[in-house]
Amino acid sequence: MIIEQIVGNLDRLEPEEIKKRHTEKVYLESSDLVKRIQRVKTDHGKEIGIRLKDPRDLVAGDILYMDDTNMIVIDVLSDDLIVIHPRSLKEMGTIAHQLGNRHLPAQFEGNEMLVQYDYLVEELLIQLGIPYQREERKVKQAFRHIGHSHG
């Protein structure tokens, strides 16, 4: 089976629509969410080719296939993250500036800033006295690096 477009996302389906179908999952590393072409395997052993026509990233909950009784859905494996809890706008600005200088991608959930684990970032947070914790957590989207040069 070759998937060329995303059918929808679980977030936009009614719970009863999900419950009435048998669900197979494709577990991906968050870094694989940016790949438009890849070969994957469901948790039931079914091999699938993904070759998306649209230039978009995959997102947790994306539905690759759905009929009246079955669906195949993207799920994301947990990442090793640093979850930063700035106590003030100044702390948020300070750490955002420091991480931006390192070109590290970040994501935000509520008042938390998420970055992939890096011991240098952890040392920086300790040095700056900014509260954080290290967690295994699923993210819905890939950490996308943005190309940039200082030229």
DSSP string over the chain = -EE-S--EEGGGS-HHHHHTSEEEEEEE-GGGGG-SEEEEE-TTS-EEEEE-SS-----TTEEEEE-SSEEEEEEE--EEEEEE--SSHHHHHHHHHHHHHTT---EEETTEEEEE--HHHHHHHHHHT--EEEEEE--SS--PPPP----
* Predicted confidence band of residue 148 (pLDDT cuts 50, 70, 90): very low
> Cβ(92)–Cβ(113) under 8 Å?
yes
Is residue 22's pLDDT more than 50?
yes
The architecture of the domain spanning 79-137 is: 2-Layer Sandwich (3.30)
Total-model pTM: 0.77
Q: At the topology level of CATH, where does 2-76 sit?
A: HSP40/DNAj peptide-binding domain (2.60.260)
pLDDT tens, 60-103?
999 999 999 999 999 999 999 999 999 999 999 999 999 988 88
Say whether pLDDT at 49 is over 90: yes
| Domain segments of the chain as ranges | 2-76, 79-137
